[in-house]
């Protein structure tokens, strides 16, 4: 019966994996997400994501592939933006210190913006 069971899902990302992912994506952000005529080719982006995968997997609970990392990054951005939206509307908990981790300073609400 075990042979017929559906594929099990992977373990959730742990804190160390998430930290390494954020650190590496932010380090290579310009290459991965730049728009316009100077942007990187698909091959260059694929190589950068592979590099990130090689940095994340040593601290991972289970082996991650590039698609897992891209999905996690999208989820982190979405969650951070929705948290920002809730904070700017005055509902939800006070701003967390790490709120600005994934957002540019101009995207932060005035209360959470770092002092100039």
- The rounded distance, in Å, linking the Cα atoms of 86 and 88 is 6
113 sits in which H/E element = none
Residue 105 placed within a domain: no
Give tens-digit pLDDT for 4-25. Answer: 668 888 899 999 999 999 999 9
Residue 116 belongs to some domain of the structure: no
In a domain, 29, yes or no: yes
Range of the domain at 46: 15-87
- Provide the pLDDT for residue 99: 47
Query: Domains in the chain: how many in total?
Result: 1
Cβ burial, residue 64 (10 Å; 0-12/13-18/19+): buried
Tens-place pLDDT, residues 92-105? 555 444 545 565 56
CA distance 99 to 16: 18
Record the tokens describing residue 50, joined without a space: 């592979």
pTM of the model: 0.68
Residue 7 lies in a domain: no
């Amino acid at each position: 019966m075990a042979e017929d069971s559906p594929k099990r899902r992977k373990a959730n990302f742990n804190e160390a994996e998430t930290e390494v992912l954020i650190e590496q994506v932010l380090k290579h952000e310009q290459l991965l997400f730049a728009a316009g005529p100077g942007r990187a080719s698909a091959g260059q982006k694929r190589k950068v994501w592979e590099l990130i995968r090689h940095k994340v997997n040593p601290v991972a609970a289970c082996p991650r592939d590039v698609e897992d990392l891209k999905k996690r990054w999208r989820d982190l951005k979405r969650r951070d933006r929705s948290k920002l939206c809730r904070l700017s509307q005055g509902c939800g908990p006070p701003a967390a210190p790490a709120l600005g981790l994934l957002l540019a300073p101009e995207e932060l609400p005035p209360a959470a913006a770092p002092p100039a």
